[in-house]
Structure 1
Amino acid sequence: MFRIRHMDQTDLGIFRKWLYTPHVAKWYHEPLDWISEVEKQDSEFCWIHHFIVEHEGKPIGFCQYYACEDSDESWEGYTAMGGSYSIDYMIGESDCLRRGFGKRIVDDLTDRIALHPDAKRIVVQPEPENKASCGLLLSCGFMLDKEKEIYVKPLP
């Protein structure tokens, strides 16, 4: 069974563990900033939708999405266009890597964002060296805007 559920404060321990796991820490820099965001998800960061990914009832990862206009990021002009959302995702448990969970996470987040009436596109900017994430996005229907180095998925 695969499920994505709202993240709450009781998930902070496992989230903290994942952020310091080598395969996650390589891409999730500044772990204390990520932890602070989750700790303040009901106040300062209430505009970010935080989730825990579970497989067979066990937490295996994290994901989130937000409207770009609510962040302080310009997304190389995509924020100014309006209707832009962004996502972040991770598989925290190393024994769950390369099992198709990443695709399921991105597909689920895409479906959730598509429910927002203003949603026109999803933009993501993984580090170019993160070949697994870049490949995942392409397999989920994202296109690379090579000029801006941002992956974009138009929504219907």
Structure 2
Amino acid sequence: MRKVVKEDMIQLRKMEQTDLPIFKKWLYTPHVARWYHDPLDWIDEVEEQDGEFCWIHHFIVEHEGQPIGFCQYYACKDSDELWEGYTELGGSYSIDYMIGESDCLRNGFGKMIVAELTNRIAHHPDAKRIVVQPEPENKASCGLLLSCGFVLDTEKEIYVKLLP
């Protein structure tokens, strides 16, 4: 039986170095490892979040005070990713997200995470759109993005959500 989860039941808090052990555990959990390739790159990025990767906003997702996942967002212009032309348009941001705890999958948390990231990005005065490129085989993530108002740019295989 699926749990009913209210929208206000998650919190995003800034990721701290003390969160590294659980983040590492999640990266090697099969349902995460399938999509988060090169875990050492992700670990390095988080370890350097106050240095080389200070332009990325890293968060731990909590439900009832317990860590259940990870998410982040960044302005595309700050990365070296071209995003098939979306970066040069200006105002493009991207997000990444994961539910680390397997018992929290398929409970609506992903939708809440994407909604909260969208809300935070929308507060940036230059934000015009969010672009995301999950692997096409990641049906759960692709479906989640569509349910959150993203549209697939089929030519570029990028999900896009325009911000008001």
Confirm or deny a common fold (TM above 0.5).
Answer: yes
SS at match of 2:58: strand
**Cα deviations by residue, 1:32-88 (Å, 9 ceiling, x for unpaired):** 000000000001000000000001111000000000000000000000000000000
2:156 to 119, 125, 148: 148
SS at match of 1:54: strand
Counterpart position of 2:10: 2
SS at match of 2:40: helix
1:60 to 59, 62, 68: 68
Distance 2:55 2:144 in 1: 25
Distance 1:100 1:127 in 2: 20
Task: State the shift of 1:2 in Å.
Answer: 1.7
Distance 1:79 1:2 in 2: 30
Counterpart position of 1:23: 31
Q: Answer yes or no: is 1:47 the counterpart of 2:55.
A: yes
Q: Answer yes or no: is 1:112 the counterpart of 2:120.
A: yes
The 5 A counterparts of 1:86-125 are: 86-125=94-133
Counterpart position of 1:128: 136
- TM-score when normalising by structure 2: 0.95
SS at match of 2:137: coil
- Over the matched positions of the two proteins, sequence identity in percent amounts to 83
1:13 to 12, 17, 21: 21
Distance 2:130 2:24 in 1: 26
- TM-score when normalising by structure 1: 0.99
Counterpart position of 1:70: 78
- Of residues 1-10 and 33-42 in structure 1, the stretch that sits farther from structure 2 once superposed is 1-10
Distance 1:128 1:40 in 2: 29
Cα RMSD (Å) of the superposition?
A: 0.4
Distance 2:11 2:160 in 1: 25
**Cα deviations by residue, 1:2-22 (Å, 9 ceiling, x for unpaired):** 211100000000000000000
Distance 1:30 1:83 in 2: 28
Aligned pairs, how many?
156
Counterpart position of 1:38: 46
Unmatched runs of 5 consecutive residues or more in structure 2: 1-8
Consecutive aligned runs of 4 or more in structure 1 exceeding 3 Å deviation: none
Unmatched runs of 5 consecutive residues or more in structure 1: none
AA matched with 2:132: V
Distance 1:109 1:17 in 2: 23
